[in-house]
Amino acid sequence: MCLWRALPWLLVLLCPLAAETQPGIAAQLDAKEKQLEDLYAQYWHTEYKIALGDESLSSRPIQDQIRAVVSDDQFLHDLTAARFRAPLLRRRRELFLEEATYTRITNDPKLTAIVEEITREENLIRYKVGDQQLTRAELSNIVAHSSDRVLRQQAWKARAQITAVNSGRIRQAVKLRNDLATRYTDGLFSTFMLRRKGVETEKLFDWFEEIRSQTETDYRALLDRVRTELHVDQVEPWDLEFYFSTLTNEFEQKMFVPGDGWAKTKQLAAGLGYDLDQLGVDMRVADLSFGGAAYPILYGKEVKILANRYTGIFFYDRLLHATGHALHYSMINEPSFLLRANFAEPFDEGVAQVMALMLYRPEVDTALFGLTPDEARVVGETYKLKCMFQLRETMADSLFEFEAYTEPDQDLAALYNRIHTKYLGVDMHGAAVWAYNPFYGSDPIYLQSYVVAEMVARQIDHRVDQQFGRQWGRNAGVYLRRRFYSRGAEQTLDGIMRSGTGETLTARYLVNYFHTGASVKAGRPRPSGRVNPPR
How confident is the model over 112-170, as pLDDT tens digits? 999 999 999 998 999 999 999 999 999 999 999 999 999 999 999 999 999 999 999 99
Q: What is the pLDDT of residue 530?
A: 28
> What is the tally of structural domains in the chain?
2
Predicted confidence (pLDDT) per residue in 433-478, tens digit: 999 999 999 899 999 999 999 999 999 999 999 999 999 999 999 9
Confidence category of residue 21, pLDDT binned at 50, 70, 90? low
Please check whether residue 236 lies inside any domain of the structure.
yes
- Considering the domain architecture, whether residues 146 and 93 belong to the same structural domain is answered as no
Q: Residue 67 in contact with residue 99, Cβ under 8 Å?
A: no
Residue 25 sits in which domain range?
Answer: 19-107
Work out whether strand 132-134 and strand 292-298 pair parallel, antiparallel, or are unpaired. unpaired
Q: What is the pLDDT of residue 521?
A: 46
Confidence category of residue 14, pLDDT binned at 50, 70, 90? very low
pLDDT at residue 2 greater than cutoff 80: no
pLDDT at residue 533 greater than cutoff 50: no
> How far apart, in whole angstroms, are the C-alpha atoms of residue 246 and residue 176?
44
Percent share of the chain, pLDDT over 70 = 92
> How far apart, in whole angstroms, are the C-alpha atoms of residue 500 and residue 376?
29
Q: What is the pLDDT of residue 55?
A: 86
* Residues making up the chain, counted from first to last: 535
Please check whether residue 143 lies inside any domain of the structure.
yes
Q: What is the pLDDT of residue 5?
A: 43
pLDDT at residue 518 greater than cutoff 90: no
Predicted confidence (pLDDT) per residue in 287-296, tens digit: 988 889 999 9
Sorted by sequence, the CB contacts under 8 Å of residue 12 that are 6+ apart come out as: none
- Considering the domain architecture, whether residues 233 and 368 belong to the same structural domain is answered as yes
Q: What is the pLDDT of residue 186?
A: 86
Domain closes at, from 92, 107, 122: 107
- Considering the domain architecture, whether residues 167 and 101 belong to the same structural domain is answered as no
- Considering the domain architecture, whether residues 66 and 159 belong to the same structural domain is answered as no
Picking from 325, 449, 355, the residue whose alpha carbon sits closest to that of residue 44 is 325
Please check whether residue 523 lies inside any domain of the structure.
no
Please check whether residue 146 lies inside any domain of the structure.
yes
Sorted by sequence, the CB contacts under 8 Å of residue 203 that are 6+ apart come out as: none
Confidence category of residue 15, pLDDT binned at 50, 70, 90? very low
- Considering the domain architecture, whether residues 162 and 243 belong to the same structural domain is answered as yes
- Considering the domain architecture, whether residues 176 and 54 belong to the same structural domain is answered as no
pLDDT at residue 365 greater than cutoff 70: yes
Sorted by sequence, the CB contacts under 8 Å of residue 147 that are 6+ apart come out as: 242
Q: What is the pLDDT of residue 22?
A: 64
Q: b/e for 375-397, b at 16 or more Cβ within 10 A?
A: bbbbbbbbbbbbbbbbbbbbbbb
* pLDDT averaged over every residue in the chain: 91
Q: Residue 377 in contact with residue 517, Cβ under 8 Å?
A: no
Percent share of the chain, pLDDT over 90 = 86
Q: What is the pLDDT of residue 289?
A: 81
- Considering the domain architecture, whether residues 380 and 496 belong to the same structural domain is answered as yes
Q: Residue 323 in contact with residue 306, Cβ under 8 Å?
A: no
Q: What is the pLDDT of residue 6?
A: 44
> How far apart, in whole angstroms, are the C-alpha atoms of residue 421 and residue 434?
13
- Considering the domain architecture, whether residues 164 and 101 belong to the same structural domain is answered as no
Beta bridge partners of 292: 307
Beta bridge partners of 285: 307
Q: What is the pLDDT of residue 17?
A: 40
Predicted confidence (pLDDT) per residue in 293-332, tens digit: 999 999 999 999 999 999 899 999 999 999 999 999 999 9
> How far apart, in whole angstroms, are the C-alpha atoms of residue 471 and residue 3?
76
- Considering the domain architecture, whether residues 92 and 155 belong to the same structural domain is answered as no
- Considering the domain architecture, whether residues 154 and 100 belong to the same structural domain is answered as no
Q: What is the pLDDT of residue 187?
A: 85
pLDDT at residue 93 greater than cutoff 50: yes
> How far apart, in whole angstroms, are the C-alpha atoms of residue 180 and residue 291?
29
What mean pLDDT do residues 212-219 have? 95
- Report helix angle 160-184 to 189-196, nearest 10: 80
> How far apart, in whole angstroms, are the C-alpha atoms of residue 335 and residue 323?
23
- Considering the domain architecture, whether residues 90 and 225 belong to the same structural domain is answered as no
Instruction: Decide: residue 15, CB within 10 A, 0-12 exposed, 13-18 middle, 19+ buried.
Output: exposed
203: domain CATH number is: 1.10.1370.10
Q: What is the pLDDT of residue 38?
A: 97
C-alpha pair distances (Å), 221 with each of 75, 396, 423, 515, 517: 59, 19, 14, 13, 15
pLDDT at residue 256 greater than cutoff 80: yes
Please check whether residue 332 lies inside any domain of the structure.
no
Q: What is the pLDDT of residue 503?
A: 96
Instruction: Decide: residue 466, CB within 10 A, 0-12 exposed, 13-18 middle, 19+ buried.
Output: exposed
Beta bridge partners of 306: 284, 293
Please check whether residue 222 lies inside any domain of the structure.
yes
Long-range contacts of 134-138 (CB under 8 A, 24+ apart): 134/158, 135/287, 135/309, 136/287, 136/288, 136/289, 136/290, 136/308, 137/287, 137/288, 137/308, 137/309, 137/310, 138/309
- Considering the domain architecture, whether residues 87 and 168 belong to the same structural domain is answered as no
